[in-house]
Chains A and B, each alone.
Chain A
């Protein structure tokens, strides 16, 4: 059973289109994240939700809109796609720790290519 699953794995689309990436976790975690990994492998957090509540919202264009229908799902919708949105998007989940030892479990990634 896949712990953190995201779909689609690959997405190729034209500039200006709107697309969504879905993520589901079956680990019973209460916190979910979206990270963006660029072509140089640099990872940057975009959003984090805890029990469906947005807790981290980094400087991301408002064309990106996360939605968490329940604590096991966190979807990412992107409007008006631009060339610079091409990247691998990783979903992750964790149990929100009282200490700083916040261990994340990552999905396999969704590679978005904007033409």
Chain B
């Protein structure tokens, strides 16, 4: 079945540091890929998505590129802020699996001033 693996946290950074969160996937079909973010005490929000190979999703300074050859969708941000402290979830949606959204285990990011 489909699965998503992302690096375990917590990841602790200083403000303005570079952030990378690794994400790899296995899927039956040709999935769409997503990053969701969960701020403390809130539900998940879509951060960015990519629907086909070599697509780059971007939002709020975050970027991720759909790499079919390495089955990866790593999240990056060049200069993090304290307000980026949250839990980040990589996810895939596979039409072959009825469009069910499958999440990775989440990575907690803590940005210190």
Residue in B closest to A31 when the chains form the complex, CB atoms: B99
Are A103 and B45 neighbours in the complex by a CB distance under 8 Å? no
* Contacting residues, chain B, for A100 (C-beta < 8 A): 29-32, 51, 92-95, 99
Contact residues of B: prevailing secondary structure = strand
Are B106 and A41 neighbours in the complex by a CB distance under 8 Å? yes
Question: With the chains together, A44 CA to B89 CA distance in Å?
Answer: 12
Question: With the chains together, A3 CA to B100 CA distance in Å?
Answer: 21
Q: Which size bracket describes the interface of B in this complex?
A: 20 to 34
* Contacting residues, chain A, for B99 (C-beta < 8 A): 96-97, 100, 102
Are A101 and B51 neighbours in the complex by a CB distance under 8 Å? yes
Are B34 and A99 neighbours in the complex by a CB distance under 8 Å? no
Are A103 and B43 neighbours in the complex by a CB distance under 8 Å? no
Question: With the chains together, A41 CA to B38 CA distance in Å?
Answer: 10
- Would A99 and B32 be within 8 Å (CB), given that A90-B44, A106-B44, A106-B45 are in contact? yes
* B87 contacts chain A at the CB level, 8 A cutoff: yes
- Would A43 and B46 be within 8 Å (CB), given that A48-B100, A104-B101 are in contact? no
A interface residues with partner B (beta carbon < 8 Å): 4, 33, 40-45, 48, 55-56, 90, 92, 96-109
Can you identify 24 A-B contacts, CB atoms within 8 angstroms?
Answer: A4-B43, A41-B38, A41-B87, A41-B106, A43-B89, A43-B106, A44-B103, A45-B100, A55-B98, A97-B93, A98-B95, A100-B31, A100-B32, A100-B94, A100-B99, A101-B51, A102-B32, A102-B99, A103-B46, A103-B49, A106-B45, A107-B43, A108-B41, A108-B42
7 shortest interchain CB distances as A-B pairs = A106-B43, A102-B93, A100-B32, A100-B95, A41-B106, A101-B32, A102-B99
